[in-house]
Amino acid sequence: MLSQAMLAAFDDPSWFSSIMSYVGIFAGFSFIIFVHELGHFAVAKWSGVRVEQFAIGFFREVVGFTKGETRYSFNLLPLGGYVKMLGQEDFEVDTTGELQYRDDPRSFANKPVGVRMAIVSAGVIMNLILSFVLFVIIYSIGKTVQAPRVGATIPSRPAAAAGIMSGDIIKSINGSSVDEFQDIPMTVMLAKPGEPLEFVVDRNGEEKTFRVIPEVNASEDIFQIGVTSPQTATLVGVGPAYDPENRIHPRVGDVIVKMGDVEVTEENANAMMNLLVTDPLKFNEVVVERKPFDADENAEPKRVTVELDPRIVLRRIDNVKPNIYGLVPLTRFSSIIPGGRADLAQIEVGDVILKWGDIENPTTSQIEASVLKPHKSDWGPTERDIPVKLLKHSSGRIVNTVIRPKIKIVPLLRIQKGKPTIDAKFDMLADHFLKVGDVVEETMNTETPAAKAGIPAGAFITRVNDQPVKTWVQMSEIFRTNAGQDVVVHYDLGDERDLSATMSIPPSLRTKLGIGPASTIVAFDGQERVKVERNGKSAEFSVNFALALNKVLKESVGKTVEVEYRAGPLSPAESQEVTITDDMFVPWVGSSAYTIDIIAGGETTVLQTSNPVEAIQLGVKKTYFFVMQVYQVMERMIFSRTLGVDKISGPVGIVEIGSKMARGGIVELLWFLALISANLAVINFLPLPIVDGGLMVFLIIEKIKGSPISVRVQVATQVVGLVLIATAFLYVTLNDLAR
């Protein structure tokens, strides 16, 4: 009899869906290969070449039949295929080592070079045609894509520095039209290092142009510009501070319908959600629509008022640690990969890191350095244990654990591959734990208020001006509202209680204007953009960018200038006259921001056309786009070395991604197969032995030379090509398994 567990498994439709998704992707791969080989087969037949076998897959034949002079077979591994023609291997070698083809008029080798070139290139051409046809079908049916609208710009990153704003609709990049949001990061990722991209955007019906220079995201080693996709008002994730069982906490599935006095609609959702996560102090609570946990499917959602808990985010404004007037908070875990090293150490999202190894009150950069620290033995790189002390988010208890960073080792060679990792991110500040992790001495060549006051690392802050403080958000706001004055900071340090220090809080341009971290400086004395030296290069940046603002402030000491600004993301532009003093150089207020740990769903649109001409144009564009992407990726990996080879996927990764796409429906599966077909066309026509591109090179040389290449050269290149392909196959497969 079947066990209860087995019966439960069969009752669960997810296992069947998963199996069918793999069946679908393998069937799709086989179809792509069939089309490729059909190209070779058809042109060979039309050219009068005898085809002895037409096979899909490799290894043992699973099923097949013979019709006429050709054996048609489907083999065990459907990740390749071949057409065997008379004359491809039908030769003898004489004493000189030259090829002596048998005198058969139907032999591939006896056909003119031009005919053989047509046969060899037919497979790639068929793949391009297949990709084009699939894209035409996809966009005739309609594909749901992310709208090409900017959800938010990350402060101090290239897009924000250039002047691109939340809500802008990206129309084109370097003259190439943008149909969906995914076009943006892909185009940026493949940009030439150091060269600006020209963005044309639609801002409230007005067309604007910006030049943006992508920069490398160090953690992911790819070019980015710092924009997020547009949002809806439906929550798809909430942070660890929220309990789904608590009625007044936001939960996944909630739809935000009202913020303050403003009703949230489809039209204003992106703007309102951006306002919520960038200026949360305006909203202590919001109204959501939700169904009770035990409600019927057809039940009407009810409106519930939920409370929100803002947290602080620090921005890097100079080549120093992000800080609050010199104070650096401790860090906590923001995400944990299930089954990874941090998870095995029983670390949870939200846990505050009190000690890492022998480092008390560690900062994010110190933890990163510790994880990446090399540790070698006589046998090469080895893993090591790191003791960690945590303040648990779930219980508030202090616990000790041990974590072992994972090091990927190339088998046999004992060579480290990639960077060590703990399978977790720890980039969230411990907002509700007011212990000072570090004190920054200087920012923008100015001594920080905390360093000047002598507040030590390890201090636990309890009050400011006799006002109790519980979070870094509260303390940051007290500092902002007391700009230009002294404040008394009370703190505990070890066994010593109620120590104090006086901090002089300097003014800044924003405090003079009476605006907070969510504000934007639009123009300074008529200037919207300023040329600034950054990382050894000169470029124009928005005056809202910290370095640009610092420059114009220094140039304007003693002057009274007009400053145009927006108090918040949705606020109208205003202007004030401000007299600039020499204590306003550092944009202290702009170095911090407040946000809320909620994730909203993405704004989507259906990319569809009923016009055949437009569908054909989209098919051509997408096929060309993905073909050029492959060439650009190879250039970035091989020549400019600005893209790591660990970013590519091999068979295992492709099958895994493809199966997920297959679970998304027929349109998603067709889109993935169109992408793979375009990729296969490029890769199969590279000038490498074994693949069609290598054969084409041999034919070109034969045409120039007037005779075939010697068998020794052919055999040698075939062996080298086989070794290269086998090595690449093994590497990407190991890379997939490691991921």
Q: What is the crossing angle of helices 692-705 and 711-738, to 10°? A: 160
Q: Please, what sign has the CA dihedral across residues 117, 118, 122, 124?
A: positive
Residue whose C-alpha is closest to residue 598's, from 229, 287, 250: 250
Q: What is the token pair recorded at 210? A: 């910006």
Q: How far apart are CA 257 and CA 600, in angstroms?
A: 13
Amino acid at 207: E
DSSP three-state, residue 416: strand
Q: How far apart are the first and last CA of the chain?
A: 38
Are 39 and 677 within 8 A, CB to CB?
no
Alpha helices by DSSP H, 47-141: 113-141
As a whole number of Å, the CA-based R_g of the chain is 31
Are 162 and 144 within 8 A, CB to CB?
no
Amino acid at 200: V
Residue whose C-alpha is closest to residue 522's, from 565, 552, 487, 468: 565
Distance set, CA 270 to CA 168, 290, 602 (Å)? 11, 20, 9
Q: Is 37 one of the catalytic residues?
A: yes
How many helical (H) and strand (E) elements, i.e. helices and strands, does the chain have? 17, 47
Q: Which residues contact 333 (CB under 8 A, 6 or more apart)?
A: 342, 347, 348, 349, 350, 351, 353, 424, 425, 426, 428
Which of 37, 180, 215, 477 is catalytic? The answer is 37
Q: How far apart are CA 162 and CA 147, in angstroms?
A: 21
Q: What is the DSSP letter of 646?
A: G
Q: How far apart are CA 277 and CA 593, in angstroms?
A: 10
DSSP-derived pairing of the beta strands 386-391 and 398-403:
antiparallel
Q: What angle do CA 519, 522, 528 make, to 5 degrees?
A: 150
CA 75 to mean position of chain CA atoms: 37
Backbone angles phi, psi at 571, to 5 degrees: -75, 150
Are 650 and 683 within 8 A, CB to CB?
no
Q: Which residues contact 268 (CB under 8 A, 6 or more apart)?
A: 262
Bridge partners (DSSP) listed for residue 446: 443
DSSP three-state, residue 7: helix
Burial of 692 (0-12, 13-18, 19+ CB in 10 A): buried
Count of other CB atoms within 10 angstroms of residue 719: 12
Backbone angles phi, psi at 428, to 5 degrees: -105, 130
Backbone angles phi, psi at 81, to 5 degrees: 170, 175
Q: Whats the size of the chain, residue-wise?
A: 739
Backbone angles phi, psi at 693, to 5 degrees: -60, -40
Cβ-count burial 629-659 (b if 16+ within 10 Å, e if not): bbebbeebbeeeebbeebebbbeebbbebbb
Q: How far apart are CA 243 and CA 547, in angstroms?
A: 40
Q: Which residues are catalytic?
A: 37
